[in-house]
């Protein structure tokens, strides 16, 4: 058999993107799902939040999860995150034609995961705290890798939390339980975008809100992007994640 290699230039430039967006409350993380629907078509939101007000006027499929793995009864509208992942693995899901999937939010997902692992350990009389955190770490990272590897665009939202280091420098990381998990999560995604908003006075004296997306290591934010042509600036005055993805792919529309 001849020795045959493949060229990196043949890789699909417009293939599925894997995105984490972290930002403080009120940036518009859930709102991004509107842009995903407009650009890519039919999608599915896995919602652990209390509501989806910012997208309630558009038609986007969603499933709410209220637990990690303890309660899953679809016939009565009760879903667990693990139960939903099993539904996603079915033929029915594959034939539904979804182009993207969103987890809103990773912060809520992590809280539910740790709560159930702690409750299960207590129920079994286990007192090994190290084992609890080990199980939590394995469950979270494993679930995220599984979702990330789905053959579609993946969009995950997360609150940002502040952390001050020994030099009194403020860093921003995903707000999830456990420092180890928080610092592993960004490595799982192609793109880690950080959303920030500023309020300034406009020429008429009224407050004006501007939104930016950080794409690199800037001002304590740990953003990154796989952008081989260096299309994006570290600070993009933009409120549409999908427009940045289109630019990286070379789509100027």
Tally the domains of the chain.
1
pLDDT in tens, 158-187: 999 999 988 888 999 999 999 889 999 999
- Give the number of C-alpha atoms closer than 13 A to the C-alpha of residue 188, restricted to the C-beta side: 23
- Segments forming the whole domain that contains residue 93: 16-247
Least confident range of 104-108, 199-203, 216-220 = 199-203
Written as six digits, the tokens of 113 are 């995961």
CA 173 to chain centre: 13
In a domain, 182, yes or no: yes
In a domain, 11, yes or no: no
In a domain, 133, yes or no: yes
pLDDT in tens, 97-153: 999 999 999 999 999 999 999 999 988 888 777 899 999 999 999 999 999 999 999
In a domain, 2, yes or no: no
Helix (H) or strand (E) holding 84: helix 81-88
Question: What pLDDT does 139 receive?
Answer: 95
Of 186, 237, 227, 221, residue with least CA distance to 20? 186
**CATH code, domain with 154:** 3.40.50.300
In a domain, 199, yes or no: yes
Report the helix count and the strand count for the chain, using DSSP H and E. 7, 11
pLDDT in tens, 40-60: 999 999 999 767 888 999 999
Distances 192 to 73, 94, 230 between C-alpha atoms, Å: 34, 27, 15
Written as six digits, the tokens of 238 are 């933009």
């Amino acid at each position: 058999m001849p020795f045959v290699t493949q060229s990196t230039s043949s890789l699909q430039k417009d293939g599925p993107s894997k995105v984490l967006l972290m930002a403080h409350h009120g940036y518009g993380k859930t709102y991004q799902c509107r842009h995903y629907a407009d650009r890519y078509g039919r999608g599915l939101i896995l919602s652990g939040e209390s509501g989806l007000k910012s997208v309630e006027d558009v038609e986007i499929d969603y499933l709410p999860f209220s637990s990690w793995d303890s309660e899953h009864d679809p016939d009565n509208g009760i879903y667990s995150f693990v139960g939903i992942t099993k539904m996603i693995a079915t033929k029915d899901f594959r034939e539904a034609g979804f182009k993207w999937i969103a987890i809103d939010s990773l912060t809520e997902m992590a809280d539910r995961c740790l709560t159930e692992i702690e409750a299960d350990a207590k129920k079994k009389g286990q007192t090994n705290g190290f084992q609890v955190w080990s199980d939590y770490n394995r469950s979270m990272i494993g679930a995220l890798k599984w979702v990330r590897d789905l053959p579609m665009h993946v969009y995950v939202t997360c609150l940002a939390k502040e952390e001050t280091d020994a030099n009194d420098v403020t860093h921003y990381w995903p707000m999830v339980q456990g420092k180890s998990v928080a610092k592993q999560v960004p490595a799982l995604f192609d793109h880690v975008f950080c959303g920030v908003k500023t309020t300034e006075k406009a020429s008429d004296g009224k407050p004006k809100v501007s939104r930016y997306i950080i794409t690199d290591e800037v001002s304590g934010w740990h953003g990154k992007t796989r952008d081989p042509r260096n299309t994006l600036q570290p600070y993009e005055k933009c409120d549409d994640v999908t427009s940045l993805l289109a630019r990286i792919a070379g789509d100027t529309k």
